[in-house]
Chains A and B, each alone.
Chain A
Amino acid sequence: MNTTQHPLVSQYLDDLSRMLDHLPPGDRAEVLAGVREHIEAGLAERRATTVGDVSAVLAELGPPEDVARAAYESGDGPGLPTNPYAVAPPLPAQPVRLPISDRRWVPVVVAILQAIAMLLAMIVALGTAAVMTSSSSDGVETVDYAVGSGLMVAMGGILTALPLWIAVVLLAGNSTLWTGRQKLAHILLLPVGVLLVGVLPDLGWIVAGERGLNVVAIASLLLVVLGGFWLVLRLTIEGRRRASAVGQVGLDSGAFDAS
């Protein structure tokens, strides 16, 4: 080489050299030497090294990314470096790892989360249920209850259990262990349950005063706790059944990948 290298050429070779970093050193040197010689020959042929000539020679070479891609493509054999410039990466041959939300433990964990969330929400709801105020004057006891306060209580309960509920939504919502409807049941259980406990007593109050309030409050609590328990149990059994099915057949077929 009798001329100093044009900055464009240096840049091209530097870029290419960097992209070939993951090749074995011998291969990298060979490709770089070939390309460098090619550029020199191209420039020698043109007998002039204006910016236009240099650019034209480099343009005919193609972008360094293309060269690098071709360099990494070489291998069918094992142990060859993977190609970071591949247009489409080869289909993974390694076993597919189950997404977190499809693992075996998910149904049980979701059930436990549901139980704790429900418990927390109910404790908050019961703790603040003293919004029903009683005062006695002249031997006459009057009981005041503001309709709608149950709703506030319910909101408080939901808010307290919110982090757990979010975990339930993420795990169950992303999981393929449940059908869409079953996921919805998991997700709606807590808000609907707490709302029922919060709102139903209002109806009891409106219909039958203090007695109605107390009866309906207890009844709705029982309904939500028992109903919730039954629902979660069923969903957990269903989820576990599907999880073991996925573990047996799906691992390498990727069949569980759908939706």
Chain B
Amino acid sequence: MVPSDSTILTNLRRGALEFCVLALLRDGAAYGFDIARHLTRDGVLMASEGTLYPLLSRLRKAGLVDTTWQESTSGPPRRYYELTDSGARALEDFTATWQPFRDAVDAALSEGATS
């Protein structure tokens, strides 16, 4: 079976997307809508904004993010997401693993191209 482009992308996202969400929260709590907007900007990390919310729910249950309520200038209070301590550690671990992983994949791909 030859996987389609979208299948490849889906599989790649599966391992990395949640850490991208954590990374967006590194500088402080963020609102779901803004996180979604960030991640769908180029269509690579996330295809549709709605899929963020199941992911956030999962991260909250895993204890990697916390929700807080903040008043908004217009309308009802908004749910903000912020990194927990274990979320921060998970992000560090991922970052440390990701660099060599990315380098290895790049190396393998370019070796394949030159041989």
Q: What residues of chain A have their CB less than 8 Å away from a CB belonging to chain B?
A: 1-2, 16, 27, 30-31, 33-35, 37-38, 40-42, 44-45, 60-64, 66-67, 69-71, 73-74, 87
Contact = CB atoms under 8 A, between A and B. Distances in A.
B36 to A, nearest CB: 6
B53 A67 contact: yes
Nearest to A29: B57
Interface of B is mostly: helix
Interface in B3-27: 10, 14
Given A30-B60, A31-B57, A60-B40, A37 B50 contact: no
Contacts of A67: 48, 50-51, 53-54
Contacts of A41: 31-33, 78
Given A37-B78, A60-B49, A73 B54 contact: yes
Given A37-B79, A67-B51, A71-B57, 4 more contacts: A31-B57, A34-B52, A63-B48, A74-B57
B81 to A, nearest CB: 10
* Central interface residue in A16, A45, A61, A69, by most chain B CB within 10 Å: A61
B51 A37 contact: no
Interface in B43-79: 47-58, 60-61, 74-76, 78-79
Contacts of B78: 37, 41
A64 B33 contact: no
Interface of B: 10, 14, 31-33, 36, 40, 47-58, 60-61, 74-76, 78-79
A59 to B, nearest CB: 9
A31 B52 CA distance: 9
* Central interface residue in B14, B54, B57, by most chain A CB within 10 Å: B54
A62 B47 contact: yes
Given A1-B76, A41-B78, A42-B33, A34 B53 contact: yes
A16 to B, nearest CB: 8
A74 B54 contact: yes
A31 B60 CA distance: 11
Contacts of B48: 60-63, 66-67
A159 to B, nearest CB: 47
Contact of B51 (A27, A33, A62, A87): A62
B66 to A, nearest CB: 13
B80 to A, nearest CB: 11
B51 A66 contact: yes
A66 B50 contact: yes
A70 B60 contact: no
Nearest to B33: A41
B58 A44 contact: no
Nearest to A30: B57
B75 to A, nearest CB: 6
B47 A33 contact: no
